[in-house]
Chains A and B, each alone.
Chain A
Amino acid sequence: MALDPEFKPDHGDWLCAVCNVPLEQLKVQVFYMNSAFDVVLPRCPQCGMTLIPESLANGKMAEVEALLEDK
């Protein structure tokens, strides 16, 4: 169940508004229904707040969600 490993923001040059630092592409583990996946996502290097781009949510993520649910 390979999620493509890396996703960047669809647009924009995003800062963490809490820490006021630019986001970096960092590895995150995401979870759904007893499964976990490693993904590289835009993330605040200080507080860890993570961004899920629209294209990922409505694309690969939706696909994997449906797949897991159908198991």
Chain B
Amino acid sequence: MLEQSRLRDYEARCTQESAPRCRLSCPLDMDVRGFLAAMAASRPAEARKLIERHLPLPGVLCAVCDHPCEDSCLRRDLGGALSISELERVCLASVSPQTRILPRPAKKQRFAVLGAGLAGLTAAFDLGRKGFPVTVFDTDRSSALLSSFPCLPADAVGREWQDMEKNRVSFQNSDEAVFYSEDAARAFLATLEQDFDAVFADLSRLPLSLEAEALDPLTLHWQGKVCAGGHLDTTPTGALYASASRQAGEGRRAGITLQRIMGGVSLDAERDDDRQSRLHVDLKNVPSVPRVLPAAEAWTPEEAAAEASRCLQCSCMQCVKECVYLQKYKEFPRLYARRLFSNATVVKGTRTTANVVMNGCAMCGQCEVICPEHFSMADLCLEVRRDAVSRDVMPDSAHAFALEDMEQACGPDSAFLLEDSSLPDGTHAPRLFFPGCQLAGSRPRQVLAMYEWLKSALPGGLSLYSTCCGIPAHWAGREAVFEEHSAELCRQWEACGRPEIIVACSSCKSTLRLALPTARIVSLWEMLDELMPEVPSFEAMPSRFTVQDPCGARHDSAWQKAVRSLASKAGAELVEPVRTREATACCGYGGLVWNAQPELADDMTGKRAQDFDGPVLTSCIMCRDRFAATLENEGESWHLFDILPQTAGLAPEKGDPGLSSRRAGRAALRREALGAEGEVGEAGGTFSLRISDDVLASLERQFILRQDALEAVQGIEATGMKFRDRETGHFLGSWRPRRVTFWVEYRADEDGGFTLLRAWCHRMVVPGAIQPSTEIVMEKRIRA
């Protein structure tokens, strides 16, 4: 079961939701970024709505604000901070108020504010909006503000009062003595404390000498039911001045405390004044753009929009920009984490897209490297996949094909362990070559040639072990399958004397590390680089390559170095793509996306291929095959085997061999390597089924193997249970050897063979289309 604390760990890593610096340095928490986006889009009414939502007394505050937001703006050194305060005024002047004041039903608690300075009026404004009757006491309504801010237009204060009155904020004259005699002020506060639920004292107006520590800096609570704030500042030369933003901010903070005093709840619970932005903004490649200044005294709407569009719309999204999977649902890791966790804990039947999300990640680890906080979607998705498997809600179809393929690669017609026959009985070679099931499948002849060469070059003999490393089970979240397979690997490894393992695939390397933690594992490339001080050039090789590091080798600098060294020795000029080495991008093979969501995997391949300038060279056969399938010129995708002298001439002609050929390739490697012992009963026998390239390509897209089609036609012909087209004489029949039904449409040829015309498949169970295992299949499915 997924723990909620894990979700919080994940969430805390992604800072994309944390506010930008401008907003955090505004004591009123103004949504500056949203405001500027609306202004840049020439939608001042929308912009004004944001001002009205966030700022108290907007007509007053915007006129006099000392805009600390601008001091922290990230544009500051890139052309100058945004003219935020100026644009707020432009906005207020260009459109009328957008929020209609609909007074809430009056609440019974009442608050008092002593002193009509900006802090006092902000507290009154906020409480009034919440429906609390507030009484403001001063000598008159506006002189307090006008004396702090002499440039304030007199009518601005009057207009704000009109609005506040609609929200039941009223004004009462009080004795002038309160504002010059400390005793009078304290006495008056004491009576207010008696008559009201809580009281705010505006320190810009009152002659109170508070001990500095008497005021709680977070809550502005002073004593009893009284909060205080809004004092004036002193310049170094001793002049008094008012910081509008700080005063308003204190009024707002105190307003919250007053409500808590009234409610009798904790004054400081869940409040903190950490206003540091954690948002990471990548400023690389951001060009400097100078401030836009109005040509005349007043701003034109165009000038305002131009200035607003200098805003960087600060956000992180650095990982998302690089990954098509992360872009797919238009969200970012923090939200994905939330979505995956909530889906995992919600009852069955109401889940929506969790499966698609968790199974779309290539688990390539790029985001973890790019993210300044090292958020790992791969870890998250693996954890969620394992959880889904353990609760039996992982969709069967997502990874069924990949897991069957792994089973085949580890099964009797493909897997084998060959000990060096030149060694005396009972002794074992000190090393073992582990080519990996995909390389064995795509390049059986090259694997064998490399094995022979290594055997001759390395002292003491060499074993060969062809099987799957188990990474598909790991990626699929099938821990039990993975462990069982690891145990088998371990048995075999121990049986051949715990040799050092030479791997040719970076995913094998990381997986074998998990399965055989005590084994010494070294990459073939490092081994070759050591063994070959010189590498003869292969004449058909392009002179220049872009290097693609496989995602499994992103943290393996020795691997990366050896690959580059071998290629350079062979005479190739190497170009690094934009994201390379530890930040390399996935070819789309990782994480079994190619099985669960083939189109998404293709998009990943396509995106990465755009980073290449000419032919690409890689040390991973899946990278090589996937790029061969994507690149317009399939000859532009090269595996290191294709340029090394031991193997170069043995490359197959075709671009991407595909699933069926890879299976056949693994079996062929076994037969070749074991000689006569390698013969296992050929399932096909002499039965001949012709499949054109086009039909085969369509089979591959549907994960139907050549072998599946062959067995289907053979089985159908044996039972005779099929349909016949009266017009063409074509046959059509179905075959359900496991949890999938294959349909084959075919033609009988004159020579006794058959030609496959098309094939399709589905997982649903249809009575009347379930041969060969009628009852068993039916019952299992229905009871499942």
Contact = CB atoms under 8 A, between A and B. Distances in A.
Contacts of B782: 31
Contacts of B741: 52
Contact of A12 (B355, B730, B734): B730
A14 B782 CA distance: 29
Interface residues of A, number: 34
Contacts of A51: 723, 732, 769
A62 B725 CA distance: 25
Interface string A18-32: 100001000011111
Given A13-B725, A14-B725, A70-B352, A28 B767 contact: yes
Interface in B741-772: 741, 743, 758, 760-769
Contact of A14 (B396, B723, B734, B761): B723
A57 B743 contact: yes
**Interface range for B:** 35 or more
5 contacts: A12-B726, A18-B720, A50-B768, A54-B743, A57-B762
Given A34-B784, A57-B761, 6 more contacts: A15-B726, A31-B782, A44-B768, A50-B766, A57-B760, A70-B353
Among A44, A62, A70, residue most surrounded by chain B Cβ atoms (within 10 Å): A70
Contacts of B4: none
Nearest to B724: A17
Among A28, A29, A69, residue most surrounded by chain B Cβ atoms (within 10 Å): A69
A28 B766 contact: yes
A52 B355 CA distance: 27
B762 A50 contact: no
Contact of B769 (A23, A34, A49): A49
A48 B723 contact: no
A14 B732 contact: yes
B720 A65 contact: no
B194 interface: no
Contact of B767 (A18, A23, A48): A48
A61 interface: yes
Interface string A40-71: 01011000111110100110011011100111
B352 A17 contact: no
Nearest to A15: B724
A42 to B, nearest CB: 8
Contacts of A14: 723-726, 732
A19 B430 CA distance: 65
B117 to A, nearest CB: 59
B763 A32 contact: yes
Contacts of B767: 28-30, 48, 50
B721 A18 contact: yes
A62 to B, nearest CB: 7
Interface majority SS (helix, strand, loop, mixed), chain A: mixed
Contact of A54 (B720, B721, B758, B765): B758
Contacts of A33: 784
A48 B768 contact: yes
Interface in B714-736: 720-728, 730-732, 734
Interface in B342-364: 348-349, 351-356
Contact of B397 (A43, A54, A65): A65
A16 B351 CA distance: 42
Contacts, number: 105
A31 B768 contact: no
A58 B760 contact: yes
Nearest to B355: A70
A38 B364 CA distance: 43
Nearest to A61: B762
A62 B623 CA distance: 29
Contact of A52 (B726, B727, B758, B762): B762
B395 interface: yes
Contact of A65 (B724, B764, B768): B764
Nearest to B722: A17
A69 B395 contact: yes
Given A30-B766, A31-B782, A70-B356, A13 B726 contact: yes
Contacts of A49: 721, 723, 768-769
B781 interface: yes
Contact of A71 (B348, B724, B763): B348
Contacts of A50: 766-769
Contacts of B723: 14-17, 23, 49, 51
Nearest to B741: A52
A18 B702 CA distance: 29
Contacts of A16: 723
A34 B730 CA distance: 35
A30 to B, nearest CB: 5
Contacts of B720: 17-18
Contacts of A12: 725-728, 730, 732
A31 B781 contact: yes
Contacts of B769: 49-52
A19 to B, nearest CB: 10
Nearest to B768: A50
Nearest to B356: A70
A61 B348 CA distance: 21
Contacts of A69: 355, 395-398
A22 B87 CA distance: 78
Contacts of A17: 720-724, 731
Contacts of B395: 66, 69-70
Contacts of B758: 54
Nearest to A23: B723
Nearest to B728: A12
A10 to B, nearest CB: 10
Contacts of B397: 65-66, 69
Contacts of B725: 12-15
Given A31-B782, A52-B741, A70-B353, A65 B728 contact: no
